[in-house]
Amino acid sequence: MNTYDEIPYPSLVYTDTHPSKLAALAMLFGLKPPVVASCRVLELGCGDGTNIIAIAQSLPQASLLGIDFSAQQIAKGQAMIEAIKLANLTLKQLDFNDVDASLGEFDYIIAHGVYSWVPEEMQDTVLEMIQRHLAPNGIAYISYNVYPGWYLENVVRDMMLYHTQQLPDHLPFSDLMRQAKGIVRFLANLRQEGNEAFDLLLQEKSLQLETLQDNYLDHDLLEKENHPVYFHQFIKQADQHGLAYVTDIEFRHYLMLSFPDDVVEAMAELFQEDFLKKEQYLDFFYNRTLRRSLLCHQDISIHREVDWEAILSCYLAAFLPADKTPANERDEESVQFKKADGELITVKQPLVQVALTCLTRLYPQWVSFESLFQYVCTQLPQPDQDLSILQEAFAQELLALYNREAIELQAESFPFVTRPSIYPIASPLARFLASQGEEPLINLRCEFIELSAIGRALLPHLNGKNSRQALLIILKKWLKKQKMKTEQPLRTLLDKTLLEIAQCALLVKT
């Protein structure tokens, strides 16, 4: 039996795989990716299709296909597609070995968590499929486990694999996973006073393991097929299949490095302006375990420096509330903005301050660069400034903020509303998940989202047929059933909950 049929992979979404995000990233490196709204998307090894279902829902004019050889996972996804009446996506049970030309051509190909988890000879098949089925200007996204980081992961993986192989056959799955975690915890406890690298590794891994879902652990650290490679090996293999490396989803982390000048010089000596060598050295530096790379056909010209003009046609989003404390007592003009991870970003330029305040107010909506720039220009103290110079400076500042992972970019914007209408309609996928009692939900930005219990109860009823009055009755009944009392008037509670749902990007535009 297929191991993914026996123990399905968790249902996950990867917002970075959305074609609109892939297109924006590719544009920054000089590519001209296919139009996203009407694109053709293929996901290889899509599991139960949760990721591609979320993407399909956000792109009603696109046509999408997900393939996976696990019958059970595909059947689960097909049931979900039927329940939410999604017309633009097909999920097919298909082995990579059986893929032929009839599969067709795709503008975006996604292969998340596949390449490293198939037998080594199949890795060539994956790259070959990408090469054969990617449109001439298409973009492929592929994730893979890399060395040197996986050498450390393998210390713990080998320990758990050896230990579980010593146990009696047919042990219940949950016991097997408990034993796997247990051996690491046992050794970590024995060595908890130690200060050697190995002691620290055990402590860290033991803590990480406690948080892992069993089916994730089974298909991640304990998966029989797990073949990490060095970045340079992967690039060589991609090259043999006619594919070129564009960039990585995490390229911005690298830009955040701020080394002293002499270190930068020493590094430049190592890289010798060879960006691929630079990527490999940085993997050594970071002890990296995972890459999420963008590939394209080799005849496409790729800029190796970020092209600032690309941002002019992008859409932006950010949630960066201003921090009340002045950035610097001697510098009253600067304002600090707080990222979700708590990092404070000091912004000096008034126009950028206005832009961040505007984006934060409109979040989670996407705003075009063009309209953002027009808006900030209305706030100019001297309206007669040279707009093209101002636009370039503004674009460069926003790119710098993108590089600090303070703002998000995408190539095209896909609508949802952030204010509930009289007859609100929630996304069919979120309604379906909420009606199944699933948590977290998935929003129209293809992200996991946590919602209050009242929000989850109300969501399945937001089908465009229930007025506020009808929703009020539904809410009243639900509160009674839950034996829940509320201090505030019911109407206020309903309005607040609908706003919460809307602010979570769960309401479709009608």
Ligand X SMILES: C[S@@+](CC[C@H](N)C(=O)[O-])C[C@H]1O[C@@H](n2cnc3c(N)ncnc32)[C@H](O)[C@@H]1O
- Residues in the site for ligand X, rule: CB under 6 A? 4, 9, 12, 45-47, 68-70, 73, 95-96, 112-114, 117-118, 122, 219
CA 412, 37, 356: angle at the middle one, nearest 5? 15
CB of 509 to ligand X, least distance (A): 28
Query: What is the rounded radius of gyration, in angstroms, for the C-alpha atoms of the chain?
Result: 25
- Closest separation in Å from C-beta 464 to ligand X: 31
CB of 14 to ligand X, least distance (A): 7
Nearer to ligand X by Cβ, of 12 and 417: the residue is 12
Helix (H, G, I), strand (E, B) or coil at 73: helix
Distances (CA, A) of 325 to 320, 321, 331, 348, 359: 14, 12, 12, 14, 20
- Of the pair 17, 63, the CB lying nearest ligand X is at 17
Q: Give min distance, CB of 218 to ligand X, in A.
A: 10
Q: Provide the minimum distance between the beta carbon of 66 and ligand X in the complex, in angstroms, as a whole number.
A: 9
Residue whose CB is less far from ligand X, 144 or 373: 144
Instruction: Provide the minimum distance between the beta carbon of 230 and ligand X in the complex, in angstroms, as a whole number.
Output: 21
Three-class SS string for 334-387?
A: CEEEECCCCCEEEECCHHHHHHHHHHHHHCCCCEEHHHHHHHHHCCCCCCCCCH
CB 62 within 8 A of CB 52: no
Smaller CB separation from ligand X, 57 or 73: 73
In the numeric block, the tokens 């279902």 are attached to: 53
With respect to ligand X, which residue has the nearer C-beta, 78 or 365?
78
Rounded Cα–Cα distance for residues 502 and 472 (Å): 17
Q: How far apart are CA 376 and CA 493, in angstroms?
A: 35
Closer to ligand X at the Cβ: 215 or 334? 215
Buried b (16+ CB within 10 A) or exposed e, 374-409: eebbeeeeeeeeeeeeebeebbebbbbbbbebbbbb
Nearer of residues 221 and 459 to ligand X, judged by Cβ = 221
Min CB(205)–ligand X separation in Å: 20
How far apart are alpha carbons 203 and 383 in whole angstroms? Answer: 59
